Amino acid sequence: MKINDQEVAFEIEGKRYHCAMDITMDYIGGKWKTVVLWYLRNDKKRFGELRQLIPQITERMLSIQLKQLEEDGLVRREVFATKPPLKVDYSLTDFGRTLLPVLEAVAKWGRELGHSKGELVEIKSGLNKG
Amino acid sequence: MKINDQEVAFEIEGKRYHCAMDITMDYIGGKWKTVVLWYLRNDKKRFGELRQLIPQITERMLSIQLKQLEEDGLVRREVFATKPPLKVDYSLTDFGRTLLPVLEAVAKWGRELGHSKGELVEIKSGLNKG
DNA sequence: CAGAATCCGACAAGATACTG
DNA sequence: CAGTATCTTGTCGGATTCTG
Which CATH code of 3.40.47.10, 1.10.10.10, 2.10.70.10, 3.40.50.2300 fits the domain covering A32-130? 1.10.10.10
Could you tell me the pLDDT band of residue A61, with boundaries at 50, 70 and 90? Answer: very high
Q: What average pLDDT does range A52-66 have in this prediction? A: 96
Residue numbers in A near B22 (CB within 8 A): 31, 35, 110
Residue ranges covered by each domain of chain A = 1-30, 32-130
Please list the alpha-helical segments (H only) found in B30-99: 33-39, 47-53, 59-71, 94-97
pLDDT in tens, A96-108: 999 999 999 999 9
Q: Do A18 and B124 touch (CB under 8 A)?
A: no
Nucleotide minimizing C1' to CA distance for residue A67: D3
pLDDT, greater one: A123 or B63: B63
Q: What average pLDDT does range B70-87 have in this prediction? A: 89
Residue numbers in A near B40 (CB within 8 A): none
Instruction: Give first-to-last CA distance, chain A, whole Å.
Output: 50
Q: What is the pTM of this model?
A: 0.91
Q: What average pLDDT does range B90-111 have in this prediction? A: 98
For residue A128, give the amino acid letter: N
Residue A5 has pLDDT above 90, yes or no: no
B72 near B27, Cβ under 8 Å?
yes
Q: Is the CB of A60 under 7 A from strand C?
A: yes
Give me the DSSP letters along B5-32.
Answer: TEEEEEEETTEEESSHHHHHHHHH-SSS
Residue A2 has pLDDT above 50, yes or no: no
Residue B88 has pLDDT above 50, yes or no: yes
Could you tell me the pLDDT band of residue A53, with boundaries at 50, 70 and 90? Answer: very high
CA angle A103, A17, A3 (to 5 degrees): 125
pLDDT in tens, B23-74: 999 999 999 999 999 999 999 999 999 999 999 999 999 999 999 999 999 9
Could you tell me the pLDDT band of residue B13, with boundaries at 50, 70 and 90? Answer: confident
Q: What average pLDDT does range A37-63 have in this prediction? A: 97
